[in-house]
């Protein structure tokens, strides 16, 4: 049964490792009330480099227990600072709970392995607030893929929006373009949600390689380049796109394709233009597979700021589909995943499931998370 509304901080750091998004919502696990308080705290450059090195080769980087322990401590310390900064800037009443995702450096559902670095007990002690964390483990231990976790959040906010305005009707689709793109298809009967393809990961990595930039601001580089269609077709032949039903991706899943000689010989701007078009095509490929086309598609995540990418998605949509940014239903595209973490903490507190057969492929719905409490509670 739902508990009373809790005041919760949600913390999320995506696979790009550019920083920590932190927000405050109120939730009982079935409802979300936004407070308007949110911040992003950048990782120190040295810590970001260490995280990306671990993500590039987790087995080797984390083999040294001392280096692993130091990285976990540093990541958690950065999240502690994000909590302190948010509380100071918000001047919000006492916080009841923290939802802490940790930093993903590896996710391989085929091997039943996922690694999110972060110490819930360290964070609970530093913040003096109970922490719910390690959200993927219970699902994977029960036979699920551990991702995506967002569908229950997407379902609740779309249902809430449909009740509040006639502009949103079910069925509706919520797409989040982060390092990996995921989508949730919400009907009156329930929700299906999967990872659907590369999001910003390839684009961001190519920008880092060629321009020493963390991302393609506004999609300007992509707009200046030419799209190499044969590369896109070869990637769309990847077995991932033939999987029906629940499926999840590691951020690096498609990186091997970058070494194709014809692609690797392209000018930098053309490579980024092509990677951008690939993300758009993968999104459109997923939408085309839906048995019923949604009238409304909500889009969130860092990808919404890539105007070239969004224009390509809009151009390829059926005329009956309307694409709007999450902001239109009161959801910040930049803090949606932080809100998700807060919701997952609320659902753990209320003993409500967060993963389902139609989202992660787990045989039965799972209550996700582990609680850490401060020493004095």
Q: Is the fold of 6-147+334-372 the same as that of 151-329?
A: yes
Decide: pTM greater than 0.85. Answer: yes
pLDDT tens sequence for the chain (377 residues): 456 899 999 999 988 888 999 999 999 999 999 999 999 999 999 999 999 999 999 999 999 999 999 999 999 999 999 999 999 999 988 999 999 999 999 999 888 899 999 999 999 999 999 999 999 999 999 999 999 999 999 999 999 998 887 788 899 999 999 999 999 999 988 999 999 999 999 999 999 999 999 999 999 999 999 999 999 999 999 999 999 888 998 888 999 999 999 999 999 999 999 999 999 999 999 999 998 999 899 999 999 999 999 999 999 999 889 999 999 888 988 899 999 999 999 999 999 999 999 999 999 999 999 999 999 87
User: What are the extents of the domains in the chain?
Assistant: 6-147+334-372, 151-329
- Name the CATH topology of 151-329: Nucleotidyltransferase; domain 5 (3.30.420)
- For the chain, what is the HEC assignment? CCCCCEEEEEEEECCCCCEEEEEEEEECCCCEEEEEEEEEEECCHHHHHHHHHHHHCHHHHCCCHHHHHHHHHHHHHHHHHHHHHHHHHHCCCCCCEEEEEEEEEEEEHHHCEEEEECCHHHHHHHHCCCEEECCCHHHHHCCCCCCCCCHHHHHHHHHHHHHHCCCCCCCEEEEEECCEEEEEEEECCEEEEEEEEECCHHHHHHHHHHHCCCCCHHHHHHHHCCCCHHHHHHHHCCHHHHCCCCCCCCCCCCHHHHHCHHHHCCCHHHHHHHHHHHHHHHHHHHHHHCCCCCCEEEEECHHHHCHHHHHHHHHHCCCCCEEEEHHHHCCCCCCHHHHHHHHHHHHHHCCCCCECCCCCCCCCCECCCEEECCCCC
CATH topology of domain 6-147+334-372: Nucleotidyltransferase; domain 5 (3.30.420)
């Amino acid at each position: 049964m739902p508990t009373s509304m809790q005041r919760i901080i949600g913390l999320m750091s995506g696979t790009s490792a550019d920083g920590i998004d932190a927000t405050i919502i109120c939730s009982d696990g079935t409802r979300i009330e936004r407070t308007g308080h949110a911040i992003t705290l950048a990782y120190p450059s040295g810590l970001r480099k260490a995280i990306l090195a671990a993500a590039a080769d987790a087995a080797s980087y984390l083999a040294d227990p001392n280096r692993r322990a130091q990285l976990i401590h540093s990541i958690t310390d950065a999240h502690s600072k994000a909590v302190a900064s948010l509380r100071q800037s918000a001047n919000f009443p006492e916080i009841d709970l923290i939802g802490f995702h940790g930093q993903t450096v590896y996710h391989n559902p085929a091997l039943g392995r996922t690694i999110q670095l972060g110490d819930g007990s360290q964070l609970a002690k530093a913040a003096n607030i109970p922490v719910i964390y390690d959200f993927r483990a219970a699902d994977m231990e029960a036979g699920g893929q551990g991702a995506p976790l967002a569908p229950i959040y997407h379902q609740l906010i779309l249902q809430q929006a449909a009740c509040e305005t006639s502009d949103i009707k079910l069925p509706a689709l919520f797409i989040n373009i982060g390092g990996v793109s995921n989508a949730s298809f919400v009907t009156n009967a329930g929700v299906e949600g999967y990872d659907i393809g590369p999001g910003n990961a390839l684009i961001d990595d190519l920008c880092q390689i060629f321009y020493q930039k963390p991302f393609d601001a506004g999609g300007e580089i992509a707009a200046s380049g030419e799209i190499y269609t044969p590369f896109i077709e070869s990637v769309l032949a990847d077995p991932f796109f033939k999987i029906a039903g629940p499926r999840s991706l590691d951020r690096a899943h498609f990186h091997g394709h970058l070494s194709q000689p014809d692609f690797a010989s392209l000018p930098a701007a053309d490579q980024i233009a092509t990677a951008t078009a690939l993300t758009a095509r993968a999104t459109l490929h997923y939408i085309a597979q839906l048995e019923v086309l949604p009238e409304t598609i909500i889009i969130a995540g860092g990808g919404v700021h890539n105007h070239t990418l969004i224009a390509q998605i809009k151009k390829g949509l059926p005329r009956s589909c309307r694409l709007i940014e999450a902001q239109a239903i009161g959801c910040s595209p930049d803090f949606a995943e932080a809100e998700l973490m807060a919701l997952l903490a609320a659902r753990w507190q209320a003993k409500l499931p967060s993963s389902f057969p139609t989202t992660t492929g787990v045989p039965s719905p799972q209550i996700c998370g582990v609680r850490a409490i401060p020493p004095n509670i």
